[in-house]
Amino acid sequence: MNQHSHSLPASYDAAPLELTRRAWPWPLLTLLLVAFVLIPVLGDDYWLNAILIPFLILSLAGLGLNLLTGYTGQTSVGAAGFMAVGAFATYSLLLRVPGLPLPLALVGGGIIAAGVGFVFGIPSNRIKGFYLMVTTLAAQFFLEWVFTKFPWFYNYASSGTISAPRLELFGYDLHSPLGRYLLVLTSVVLLTWIAVNLVRSQIGRNWMAIRDMDTAAAVIGISVDRHKRLAFAVSSFYLGVAGALWAFAYLGTASASSFDINRSFQILFIIIIGGMGSIAGNFIGAAFISLLPLLLNQIGQGLLSGMVDAGQLQNLQKIIFGMLIIWFLVKEPEGLIRLLANLGERLKAWPLRF
Amino acid sequence: MTFFLETLIGGLLAGTMYSLVALGFVLIYKASGVFNFAQGAMLLFAALTFVSLQEQGLPFALALILTVVVMALGAILIERTVLRPLVNRSQITLFMATLGLSFVIEGLAQGLMGAQVRALDLGIEDVPLFWGDVMVSQFDLVAAATAALVVTVLALLFNRTRIGVSLRAVADDTRAALSIGINLNRIWQIVWAVAGILGLVAGLLWGARQGVQFSLSLVVLKALPVLIIGGFTSIGGAIVGGLIVGAAENLAEVYIGPYIGGGITPWFAYVLAIVFLYIRPAGLFGEPAIERV
Amino acid sequence: MTPQMAEPILQVQAISLSFKGVKAINDLSFSVRRGEICALIGPNGAGKSSLLNILNGVYRPDSGEVVFEREHFRGIHPLEAARRGIGRTFQNNALFKKMTVLDNLLTGLSRHTQSGFFAQALGLPRARHEARQFRERAENILEFLELQPWRSVAVGKLAYGQQKRVELGRALIAEPRLLLLDEPMAGMNAEEKHEMSRFILDINRDLGTTVVLIEHDIKVVMGLSNHVVVLDYGRKVGDGTPTEVQSNPEVISAYLGTVH
């Protein structure tokens, strides 16, 4: 039975970030090497700023939502609300706690977001399905309102916006694109590692059991309510950190409207397109979501230059996005990750056909 | 007291609009089990189509008929391309598909008919009326009467026509309805078309007040708490829920708002809905599901 | 150790339950001794599944009590039932369909988990050690139920009979003292039924687990159980050893006569 031990969490073997214990995970190490060494050496500021940083942060946010929606089965359309909590909480910590190091401020922001998520998760003991989804919408609107209406949260700035008072670590300034990229990358890698541990642990199994059939989960001894609340809290922690990074490492200056309902939908689309209940799917979904607009822009400028204005391009983008969502749901409900896995299978089998 | 009454009545009248949107939701949910997030986008599309046709110089009635035809064609298209391929899939999947659908419809609406705010004049004068001391908006009153008329016509259709009967059969027991030869796809097309027409009515009434523009599609977000309070499956619930939300929202903004910074309408209805939910997890009129294992 | 001599592990005392005014169970009392295999039989709608649902807390009776290991319960919470060692399988398989066979078994160990959130999130040695222990227990179950070849297959893709076995394994891995099985052999052919009977007998003999099961196949019931309770319209019409029950005229007219 030992030869199987390394495949203990066998249901997630599609994840490229899988951390196996026995064999060296070469693809993963290569990926990390590229991300930490090659890209910093080769990548120019445009790539870092406009593509890699938002891609990584959106992946992280997708990961957070996926833990709640993809793994625990609690559909949320309030992801951006919890991102806002993380952003504003981190801002407050940096501003009001002198000398607090940046990583601690990020973790603190995440913890505060987790607390808020926990509170909004409390109704999940009685409220289910669509009804619960509407309570996440309540969180979205309520939180947006809080961060608009109470000037304390944005330090009474007349613009209503927040920007990081300091972005430094051990005396190093992290304001450069490279500095921000490395900050984001490190956060994402660490949190992804924890997420992989979690979904393969007993907690992760309990979450998935609740997703697949919550009455049965209770009967076999899983404390359903507690695990739902835990999923809300952990998910909100991830979203909170992602929100803080979005505000300070990507946008630079943010306000409550940076985290409106459209952001929530965007995160939801990432996990639908990438793959519900898949860690790697978040990265693929986020890549897709952040690259598609750039691609459409290029095509728009190249093929239809002058014929189509920016507004029309945006409408076109919306239509294409919407159709893709429907197409994915119809054709590949398990997302791009399943599509890639199938492709991989076929490639493996390909030489055998001759 | 007069002020309280004005606030209450104003809220109730605005609530009829919520009811109208929620009704479209309930119809679709009952007939096809779909939580249709695209209801707001359909409303925007219908209102924009009507305004655009009117701007081309078409008379009111003709524009109205053409818009109804467009909405019916849209319903058939949606049934063919979205609902039919997703049949037997989970409700959450269907919901997400309507999220995608709302993007497509919004993009199409603004792409084809422009994004600027369009004025819409239905010829209803908005002069205040007085009932004793209490001031009531005439426009709101006409709007509420229209909503009531639409609901009555719908109720008659459902109770008196063959289509209405088959529709109720589908809502009660889809499998049984199928077994007696009811064409489910046709029912879906009809229901989505009716929801589109409800969207048109609501869109016109709303658009006449605040102009026809993108924000009309956000009405869907107003309708959600209404559904929660009334229950997804109850037509009466949609109506009562709309009135409750409209009145509570108005009263809260006036009487609670000033103490906590104002502007609480975007979320107040939701908090109200959660409180309702906690007491009645399937809405006021919804049937609580018995869990079978 | 003849079960007839042992003390009762479970006593049902004057239980009644109704749904929307319709009586599903009417003033039902019987007891199950430690170590026996007790079969509940009766026509469809006799209240058998409802009774199991009361025993492990899915439903709450309108009146009456359940005594499990000398503790009295009116309505027990499903979690509490699981914690006290009541395991359960369902008539229509309540498995976690998207999860693998192995993961499904492991969920049965949830209430035995000692390591906390941070230990699991950070993969601390404590959590890893526990994961290995759990894995071993799961492997034992896989071996016992002959499910090894399907270890990594999503449960939803398995045949119905195999799913029934997985569900049995999921209940078994937590080492329950009382096992409630709702039609464990429904939809099986003779060979599969024979296999499942063997598993149940082994569990009962080797682990000393008390079993309460619902089964329609009278031949299976007579071969498997040492105690039979017959229900009809929510009332008890027979209670005794298989031979006693078989010769009870009321039982024959209520059940045996009508079905066969």
Mutation test of the interface with chain C: which of A219, A222, A276, choosing the one with the most C Cβ atoms within 10 A?
Answer: A219
Q: Kindly tell me if the per-residue pLDDT of B149 is higher than 80.
A: yes
What one-character DSSP code corresponds to residue A304? S
Contact by Cβ (8 Å): B13, B243? no
Q: Which of C106, C111, C127 sits opposite A205 (nearest CB)?
A: C106
* B134 bridge partner residues: B131
Q: Do A219 and C151 touch (CB under 8 A)?
A: no
Q: CB atoms < 10 A from the CB of B111, how many?
A: 18
pLDDT at B123: 72
Contact B238, A99 (CB under 8 A): no
Nearest CA distance, A136 vs chain C (angstrom)? 24
The nearest CA of chain A is from the CA of C175 a distance in Å of 11
Check residue C196 and give its pLDDT: 92
Q: Does B290 touch chain C (CB under 8 A)?
A: yes
Average pLDDT estimate for C18-27: 85
Q: Do B274 and A123 touch (CB under 8 A)?
A: yes
Separation CA A173–CA A319 (nearest Å): 42
Subunits with 3+ C-beta pairs closer than 8 A to C? A, B
Nearest Cα residue to C36 out of C248, C183, C229, C238: C229
Are C219 and C197 contacting, i.e. CB atoms less than 8 angstroms apart? no
Q: Residue B287, Cβ neighbours under 10 Å: how many? A: 10
The amino acid at A353: R
How far apart CA C34 and CA C53 sit, in angstroms, is 20
Question: Does B282 sit within 8 Å of A134, measured CB to CB?
Answer: no
| CA neighbor of B147 nearest in space, from B8, B36, B23 | B23
Residues of A in contact with C108 (CB under 8 A): 220-221
CA-wise closest residue to C148 among A4, B15, A267, A105: A4
* Domain count along chain B: 1
Round to whole Å and give the CA distance between C55 and C71: 13
Query: Looking at the domain assignment, is residue B270 inside a domain?
Result: no
Taking Cα atoms as reference points, which of B203, B147, B193 lies closest to residue B167? B193
pTM check: above 0.90: no
Q: Grade residue B206 by pLDDT with cuts at 50, 70 and 90.
A: confident
Q: Please report the domains of chain C, with CATH numbers, ordered by start residue.
A: 1-85+177-260 (3.40.50.300), 100-174 (no CATH)
Picking from A8, A202, A218, the nearest residue to C120 by CB comes out as A202
Element (DSSP H or E) covering residue B274: helix B265-279
Pairing of strands C178-182, C210-214: parallel
Amino acid symbol at B134: V
Beta carbons of B293 and C19 less than 8 Å apart: no
Lowest-pLDDT range, A334-348, B58-72, C158-172, C181-195?
A334-348
CA distance linking residue A25 with residue A6, whole number of Å: 12
Q: Chain B closest CA to C136's CA: distance in Å?
A: 30
Span B95-106, mean pLDDT?
A: 92
Residues of A in contact with B281 (CB under 8 A): 126-128, 131
Length of chain C: 260
Query: What residues in chain A have per-residue pLDDT under 70?
Result: 1-24, 304-308, 349-354
Residue B118 DSSP SS3 = strand
Q: Establish if B225 belongs to a structural domain.
A: no
Q: How confident is the model at residue C5 (pLDDT cuts 50, 70, 90)?
A: low
Q: What is the pLDDT of residue B168?
A: 77
What is the DSSP secondary structure assignment for residue A126, as one 8-state letter?
T
Tell me which of A205, A334, A338 to substitute to probe the interface with C (most C C-beta atoms closer than 10 Å).
Answer: A205
Phi, psi of C147 (to 5 degrees): -110, 5
Cβ atoms of residues B95 and B224 within 8 Å: no
- Residues in chain B with CB shorter than 8 Å from the CB of A216 are 293
For residue B262, tell me if it sits in a domain.
Answer: no
Place of tokens 């990074």: A245
- Cβ–Cβ of B293/C53 closer than 8 Å? yes
A134 closest CA partner among B228, B246, B283: B228
Report the candidate in B34, B158, B9, B141 with the shortest Cα–Cα distance to residue B87: B34
Contact present, A20 and A6 (Cβ < 8 Å): yes
Give pairs for B186-189: CB < 8 Å, separation 24+.
Answer: B187/B31, B187/B163, B188/B31, B188/B32, B188/B79, B188/B83, B189/B72, B189/B75, B189/B76, B189/B79
Share of chain C above pLDDT 90, in %: 59
B88 domain residue, yes or no: yes
User: Is it the case that residue C89 has pLDDT exceeding 80?
Assistant: yes
Phi/psi at C89 (5° precision): -120, 165
Radius of gyration of chain B (CA): 19
Check A216 against C96: CB less than 8 A apart.
Answer: yes
pLDDT at C4: 54
Per-residue pLDDT band at B286 (split at 50, 70, 90) = low
Q: Which pLDDT score is estimated for A112?
A: 98
The dihedral over CA atoms of C37, C38, C41, C45, expressed in degrees to the nearest 10, equals: -120
Q: Residue C2: what pLDDT? A: 52
pLDDT in tens, A120-144: 999 888 888 888 888 898 899 999 9
- Closest-CA distance, A295 to chain C, in angstroms, reads 35
DSSP B146-206: HHHHHHHHHHHHHHHSHHHHHHHHHHH-HHHHHHTT--HHHHHHHHHHHHHHHHHHHHHHH
A130–B221 CB contact, under 8 Å: no
Mean pLDDT value across residues B210-215 = 82
Output B115 or B37, whichever has higher pLDDT: B37
| Amino acid occupying residue B105 | I
- Contacting chains of A (3 CB pairs or more, <8 Å) are B, C
Q: What is the rounded CA–CA span in Å between residue B14 and residue B244?
A: 10
Averaged pLDDT for residues C179-206: 91
Is A137 within 8 Å of B96 when comparing Cβ atoms?
Answer: no
Asked if A126 lies within 8 A of B95 by C-beta distance, the reply is: no
Better-scored residue on pLDDT, A161 or B30: A161
Confidence band (pLDDT; 50, 70, 90) for B96? Answer: confident
Average pLDDT value for residue range B55-68: 92
Q: Is B66 on the interface with A (CB under 8 A)?
A: no
A202-212 and A224-245 helices cross at what angle (nearest 10)?
Answer: 110
Interface of A with C (CB under 8 A): 1, 4-5, 7-11, 194, 197-198, 201-203, 205-206, 208-209, 211-213, 215-224, 230, 277
Among the partner residues A10, A198, A215, nearest to C121 by beta-carbon distance? A198
Confidence tier at C220 by pLDDT (50, 70, 90): confident
pLDDT digits (tens, 9 = 90+) for B232-261: 878 888 888 899 998 888 888 888 878 877
Three-state DSSP string of chain C: CCHHHCCEEEEEEEEEEEECCEEEEEEEEEEEECCCEEEEECCCCCCHHHHHHHHCCCCCCCEEEEEECCEEECCCCHHHHHHCCEEEECCCCCCCCCCEHHHHHHHCCHHHCCCCHHHHHCCCHHHHHHHHHHHHHHHHHHHHCCCHHHCCCEHHHCCHHHHHHHHHHHHHCCCCCEEEEECCCCCCCHHHHHHHHHHHHHHHHHHCCEEEEECCCHHHHHHHCCEEEEEECCEEEEEECHHHHHCCHHHHHHHHHHHC
Q: Estimate the crossing angle of helix B2-32 against helix B162-172, to 10 degrees.
A: 80
Under a CB-based contact definition with an 8 Å cutoff, are residues C59 and C77 in contact?
A: no
Is B282 or B61 the better-scoring residue by pLDDT?
B61
In single-letter form, the type of residue at position A198 comes to L
Rounded-to-integer distance, Cα B87 and Cα B161, Å: 26
| Closest chain B CA to residue C49 | B293
β-bridge mates for residue C181, sequence order: C89, C213
> Residue B290: closest CA among chain C residues belongs to which residue?
C19
Q: CB-CB: which of B35, B270, B281 is closest to A138? A: B270
The residue range of the domain holding B211 is 2-215
Q: Which of C83, C195, C158 is nearest to C73 (CA)?
A: C83
Q: Which domains does chain A have, with CATH numbers?
A: 18-353 (1.10.3470)
Minimal Cβ distance to A197: which of C103, C122, C154 = C122
